[in-house]
Amino acid sequence: MRRMKGAAIAVTAGLLAAACGSSGHKATQASPSAGPSSSAPSASAPAATTPAASSAPASAPASAPASSAPAASAPAGSIAPAAWKQGGTVTISNEQGQTWPCQFNPFNPAVDSEALGFVYEPLIYVDLLNNSAETPMLATGYKWSDDKKSIVFTIRDGVQWSDGQPFSAADVAYTFNLMKKVPALDLYSLWTNAGLQSVTASGNQITMTFSSVATTYFFNFADQVGIVPQHIFSTGDPAAHPDTWADVAPIGTGPFTVSPCTANNIQYIANPHYWMPGRPYIQKVEYPAYLDNNPANLDLASGKAQWGSQFIPNIKQAYLSKSKDNNTWSPPVTNVEIFPNLDPSHKATSTLAVRQAIAAAIDRTQIAAIGEGGQQPAANQTGVVVPTFQKYFDSAALAASGYDKPNVAKAIQLMASAGYSPAKPLKLSIITITGYTDWDASLAVIKQELKPIGINLTVNDEAQQTYDDALFNGNFDLAYYGEAGGPSPYYEMRQILSSANTAPIGKQANSNYERYKNPAVDALFQQYPTADDAGQVAIIKQIEAAMIKDVPIIPTTESVDWFQYNTSDLQGWPTPANPYAQPAAFNVPDAEQLLLHLYSKAAQ
């Protein structure tokens, strides 16, 4: 599993059929490519006024290729008729490295991938692969103030929670105010770094007020926050401990409910109270717990599982050749990185020369080719994913730094300056997740490449929850991980580098797990929202300079949305020609969009 989404109102593959009027977020078809168009407006402000859109995932006629046609347009605010009959089951193959804890608290980053989208929904869905096209979900539209310091959402009428209770704007306001009351729930630092001042409800509208321009946080508060029911979270255990409450029987507005969950499988069944008539088409989702990639890959190859979200070694022979109905498309969106622990209590990894040596010694091309079987591109030390975000990439700065290619001699010199050598090696450990065979293979390459410069690396495979606890609380020398992204490099970089997202050792950090603190970089993040497009590019390049100078993290490969899909029965999958959502099951809340498009031929 990779929890990497971190991903305005336009027609998204026909899910909702009215386009918004923003120049940066029009309903344009994405060209067939492996990722977002590099010409897409990065982190530009969403539309000042967003009209309500239609609310139905429609699909092509039965004779059309799967997942290739947008829906017919519908009047603003209306729900288009269902295009397909309901029925069918999809089985997900997404290796976890552990059995299921059967917890679905959307505020818990260790389990939110199984809750957001499936059960809990956002206000607006933002599609990173389609020029940040937006789909109205629990909000039908929104309007920014002229100074972009406040935003008013119009909340959808007629929505029910899965227990039949009415949903309202009060639930939305409650969700965000709960994040203020219990800061551990504020995973995107909205009440601190974003300057959120108040969230109030009036009728079917909520108003969010910020202390400064907040457009760059739209993705986080509109797309990434699942709205929770006040009538559940305001009483009993969830009210007393909303951050640690297990939420074993979640009540949401989403298309599915959990029934049942066991250690070996989560079964989702269609929510009979779902607000889109006739949806979801698929009536059941099976989500087995896989401890290793190998059995998960075998289930995909045989067709026992139809939706894959993991690395498959030698994919042509092991998967694609097994059936004409087996397909794959894995677009790159963020990075996989080595996270060094920068806290002074970790003397070696907080030493700049050691981090510089690691960055200089590793051969990212080899890591991508051997560790990821050529299915992920090599990353670079600037942290900018290319070609996805090409216009931000400072290739000259990378070349000048020397990190554009391996330099073992320089790495040996750097290690010597820190007091280490092959004869007097530094012993370090790196944590990774049990069962992530591609990460294991990549780390085997990294281990081999670091030995000649005087680093003896021990790879510690840990169960997901054990790994998460160590990562979040800073209990590691090095960690192998990848963060969520967004419509420009700013989002991934802010997650990783903003000091507002970190915490002291022993306390849970939101996303800056390496514990990097640089006031100059924090100031750049503050300047970004008010800059024009050229200014934002310039700011990202300054942050790239800090990535090169400070080496706070060490990117190795560009993380892709692992995606394999079988079309023998199920249709409506996203494709390069119709990238209506990030396609991996671990992407939240994108999984909901895929499930709302998916339908069974046998049920027609």
CATH code of the domain containing 469: 3.10.105.10
Q: Is residue 398 part of a domain?
A: yes
Find the mean pLDDT for residues 536-565.
97
Q: Which pLDDT does position 60 carry in this prediction? A: 31
Q: Which pLDDT does position 46 carry in this prediction? A: 33
Q: How confident is the model at residue 414 (pLDDT cuts 50, 70, 90)?
A: very high
How far apart, in whole angstroms, are the C-alpha atoms of residue 225 and residue 259?
Answer: 23
Examine the pLDDT at 72 and tell me if it is beyond 80.
Answer: no
In this structure, the number of other CB atoms found within 10 A of the CB of residue 207 comes to: 17
Residue 41 DSSP SS3:
coil
Examine the pLDDT at 353 and tell me if it is beyond 50.
Answer: yes
How far apart, in whole angstroms, are the C-alpha atoms of residue 183 and residue 187?
Answer: 8
Q: Is residue 266 part of a domain?
A: no
Who contacts 331 (Cβ-Cβ below 8 Å, separation ≥6)?
33, 34, 35, 129, 560, 561, 563, 576, 579, 582, 583
Find the mean pLDDT for residues 409-414.
98
Per the CB < 8 A criterion, the answer to whether 457 and 429 are in contact is: yes
Angle made by CA atoms 303, 309, 311, in degrees to the nearest 5: 95
Find the mean pLDDT for residues 196-215.
97
Q: Is residue 584 part of a domain?
A: no
* φ and ψ of 124, to 5 deg: -135, 135
Examine the pLDDT at 581 and tell me if it is beyond 50.
Answer: yes
Examine the pLDDT at 219 and tell me if it is beyond 80.
Answer: yes
Question: Which segments within 122-164 are labelled E, that is strand?
Answer: 124-127, 133-136, 139-144, 150-155
Q: Is residue 540 part of a domain?
A: yes
Token look-up 């998967």 returns: 319
Name the residue with higher pLDDT: 428 or 74: 428
Q: Is residue 467 part of a domain?
A: yes
Q: Is residue 431 part of a domain?
A: yes
How far apart, in whole angstroms, are the C-alpha atoms of residue 353 and residue 417?
Answer: 7
Q: Is residue 41 part of a domain?
A: no
How far apart, in whole angstroms, are the C-alpha atoms of residue 505 and residue 385?
Answer: 29
Q: Which pLDDT does position 78 carry in this prediction? A: 44
What domain count does the chain have?
Answer: 1
Mean pLDDT of the chain: 87
- Supply the range of the domain harboring residue 497: 332-560
